[in-house]
Amino acid sequence: MRKITLVRKAPQGKAVPGTISFNLNEGPFSFQTLENADFLIPEGEYPIEWTWSPKFKKPLPEILNVPDRSGIRIHRGTLPEHSKGCILTDMAGMAHLQVFFNLIQLENRYKDDNEPKETALISITHA
C-alpha cells in the first residue's frame, strides 16, 4: 500500500493550509494544500483512488469512506471558497499526484490476477 500524508497547519480564518507528502521511487515529494475550515474532512486514514469526476469532467484523486460524505476530491483551487470539503492545491501538486497514481496503475498492470493490487491511503493529521 502506498501512503499519502496531509499535515494541516493552524487555520487562518476560513483557510486551513497544509502539506501533502509521499514517496516515489525517485524520492520524496511534497506540495502545499488549502482547505475550507467549515468543511474539513475528519482526521484519520482513508482510501484514495484516481477516479472520474462528473463535476470536473476529468479524473481526479477521490478520498473514499469519508463519514456522511461522498465525492471528496483533491483538485486545483486558490481560495477556501473553492472547496466544500475537498482539498485544494496548485497545478504542480496535481502533476505530482498524477505521477503517484500512474505509478500505482503501472505496477498493477504487471501483476498476475492472483497477486494483490497496489492501493493508496491518505492519512490526515494536524501539526
- The pTM of the whole model exceeds 0.85: yes
Cβ neighbours, 10 Å, residue 119: 12
The predicted model gives 104-121 an average pLDDT of 90
With a cut of 90, say whether residue 24 has pLDDT above it: no
**CA–centroid distance for 100 within its chain:** 10
- Amino acid residing at 93: G
What is the tens place of the pLDDT at every residue in 31-90? Answer: 999 999 999 999 999 999 999 999 999 999 999 999 999 999 999 999 999 999 999 999
Determine the structural domain holding residue 48 and report its residue range. Answer: 2-126
**CA–centroid distance for 78 within its chain:** 16
Of all helices (H) and strands (E), which one includes residue 105? helix 91-109
Instruction: Give how many domains the chain has, as a whole number.
Output: 1
